Amino acid sequence: MKRLTKLADLNRMANTLRKDVIEMLTEAGSGHSAGPLDLADIATALYFNVMKIDPKQRDDPDRDRLYVSCGHTAPIWYATLARAGFFPVEELKTLRKLGTRLQGHMDRLTVPGVESSSASLGQGLSISCGSAYAGQMDKKNYQTYCILSDGEHDEGSVWEAIQFAGHYHLQHLTAIIDRNNIQIDGPTEEVMTKEPLRDKYEAFGWHMIDVDGHNIEAVIDACNEAKAIVEKPVVINAHTIPGKGVDFMEYDFRWHGAPPGKVDTERGPAKSKQSAEALKQLRTLGGKIDNGDL
Amino acid sequence: MLNNSAKLKRNTLSKDVDIVATRDGYGMGLVELGEQRENVVVLCGDLTESTRSAGFREAYPDRFIQMGVAEQNMANVAVGLALNGKIPFVSTYAVFTPGRNWDQIRISGCYNNANVKYAGAHTGISVGPDGATHQAMEDIALTRVLPRMTVLVPCDVEETRKITHAAAAIVGPVYFRFARAGSPAFTSAKTPFKVGKAVVFRDGDEVAIIAAGPIVHSALLAADRLIEQGVSARVINNPSIKPLDEKTIEQAARECGAVVTCEEHQVMGGMGSAVAEFLAVTYPVPMEFIGMHNSFGESGEPAELLKKYKMDAEAIAAAVKKVIKRK
CB contact under 8 A, B111 and A67: no
Question: Is residue A248 within 8 Å of residue A267, measured between CB atoms?
Answer: yes
* CATH code of the domain covering residue A106: 3.40.50.970
pLDDT at A61 over 50: yes
Binned at pLDDT 50, 70 and 90, residue A284 comes out as confident
pLDDT at A293 over 50: no
* pTM score of the predicted model: 0.96
DSSP label at residue B247: H
- Among residues B122, B128, B140, the alpha carbon closest in space to that of B263 is found at B140
Which of chain B's residues have a Cβ under 8 Å away from the Cβ of A107?
A: 111
- Among residues B213, B171, B205, B209, the alpha carbon closest in space to that of B25 is found at B213
How confident is the model at residue A294, as a pLDDT? 43
* Catalytic, out of B35, B38, B71, B255: B71
Decide if B92 touches A, using CB distance below 8 A. no
Non-local (6+) Cβ contacts of A3 within 8 A are A48, A49
pLDDT at B2 over 90: yes
How much is the average pLDDT of A88-113? Answer: 96
Binned at pLDDT 50, 70 and 90, residue B1 comes out as confident
State the best of A69, A116, A162, A169 to mutate against chain B, taking most chain B CBs within 10 Å.
Answer: A116
In a domain, A33, yes or no: yes
Question: Is residue A36 within 8 Å of residue A75, measured between CB atoms?
Answer: yes
Q: How many CB pairs under 8 A join A and B?
A: 104
In a domain, A292, yes or no: no
Sheet with B150-152: strands ordered across: B64-66, B40-44, B87-93, B117-121, B174-177, B150-152, B240-242
Task: Label residue B85 left, alpha or beta by phi (over 0 means left) and psi (-120 to 50 means alpha).
Answer: left
In a domain, A132, yes or no: yes
Decide if B85 touches A, using CB distance below 8 A. yes
Question: Is residue A190 within 8 Å of residue A181, measured between CB atoms?
Answer: no
Nearest chain B Cα distance for residue A15, angstroms: 31
Q: Which amino acid is at A278?
A: A
Q: Which helix (H) or strand (E) holds B234?
A: strand B233-237
Q: Output A169-172 pairs: Cβ under 8 A, ≥24 positions apart.
A: A169/A205, A169/A231, A169/A232, A169/A233, A170/A129, A170/A132, A170/A133, A170/A136, A170/A144, A170/A233, A171/A136, A171/A229, A171/A230, A171/A231, A171/A232, A171/A233, A172/A132, A172/A135, A172/A136, A172/A140, A172/A141, A172/A142, A172/A143, A172/A144
Strand pairing partners for A177?
Answer: A148, A237
Binned at pLDDT 50, 70 and 90, residue A2 comes out as confident
In a domain, A112, yes or no: yes
pLDDT at A286 over 80: no
pLDDT at A292 over 80: no
For B207, counting Cβ atoms within 10 Å of its Cβ (0-12 exposed, 13-18 middle, 19+ buried), the class is buried
pLDDT at A291 over 60: no
DSSP structure string for B283-311:
----EEEEEE-S----SS-HHHHHHHTT-
b/e burial code for range A40-70 (CB count within 10 A of at least 16 → b): bbbbbbbbbbbbebeeeeeeeeebbbbbbbb
pLDDT at A287 over 70: no
Distance CA A97, CA B312 (A): 53
- Can you say how many angstroms the Cα of residue B80 is from the centroid of all Cα atoms in its chain? 27
Show the domains of chain B with their CATH numbers.
Answer: 4-16+190-325 (3.40.50.920), 20-184 (3.40.50.970)
Please report, rounded to a whole number, the percentage of residues in chain B having pLDDT higher than 90: 100
Question: For B129-184, how does the pLDDT look when each residue is reduced to its tens digit (9 = 90+)?
Answer: 999 999 999 999 999 999 999 999 999 999 999 999 999 999 999 999 999 999 99
DSSP label at residue A231: S
In a domain, A46, yes or no: yes
- Among residues B182, B154, B185, B156, the alpha carbon closest in space to that of B11 is found at B185
Instruction: Quote the domain boundaries for residue A167.
Output: 7-287
How confident is the model at residue A283, as a pLDDT? 84
In a domain, A294, yes or no: no
**Average per-residue pLDDT for chain B:** 98
Question: Is residue A37 within 8 Å of residue A74, measured between CB atoms?
Answer: no
Residue B250 catalytic? no
Number of structural domains chain A divides into: 1
Question: For A27-49, how does the pLDDT look when each residue is reduced to its tens digit (9 = 90+)?
Answer: 999 999 999 999 999 999 999 99
Q: Which amino acid is at A225?
A: E
Distance CA B183, CA B154 (A): 12
DSSP label at residue B44: E
Distance CA B74, CA B154 (A): 24
**Phi then psi for B120, rounded to 5 degrees?**
-95, 115
How confident is the model at residue A289, as a pLDDT? 54
Distance CA A190, CA A183 (A): 10
- Among residues A60, A124, A167, A173, the alpha carbon closest in space to that of B77 is found at A124
Question: For B85-96, how does the pLDDT look when each residue is reduced to its tens digit (9 = 90+)?
Answer: 999 999 999 999
Non-local (6+) Cβ contacts of A280 within 8 A are none
In a domain, A1, yes or no: no
Please report, rounded to a whole number, the percentage of residues in chain B having pLDDT higher than 70: 100
Distance CA B186, CA B190 (A): 11
Residue B146: other Cβ atoms inside 10 A: 19
Dihedral sign computed on CA atoms, order A36, A38, A40, A43: negative
Binned at pLDDT 50, 70 and 90, residue B299 comes out as very high
CA torsion, ordered A130, A132, A135, A140, to nearest 10 deg: 170
Decide if B75 touches A, using CB distance below 8 A. yes
How much is the average pLDDT of A188-208? Answer: 98
C-alpha distances out from residue B310 to A132, B288, B304, Å: 49, 12, 10
Non-local (6+) Cβ contacts of A152 within 8 A are A69, A70, A121, A122, A158
How much is the average pLDDT of A160-189? Answer: 97
β-strands B174-177, B150-152 pairing: parallel
**Average per-residue pLDDT for chain A:** 94
State the best of A123, A144, A146, A167 to mutate against chain B, taking most chain B CBs within 10 Å.
Answer: A123
DSSP label at residue B192: -
- Among residues A245, A289, A247, A293, the alpha carbon closest in space to that of A266 is found at A247
Question: For B180-191, how does the pLDDT look when each residue is reduced to its tens digit (9 = 90+)?
Answer: 999 999 999 999
Question: For B115-138, how does the pLDDT look when each residue is reduced to its tens digit (9 = 90+)?
Answer: 999 999 999 999 999 999 999 999
DSSP label at residue B183: E
CB contact under 8 A, B104 and A157: yes
In a domain, A60, yes or no: yes
CB contact under 8 A, A137 and B104: no
Non-local (6+) Cβ contacts of A99 within 8 A are none
How much is the average pLDDT of A241-270? Answer: 93
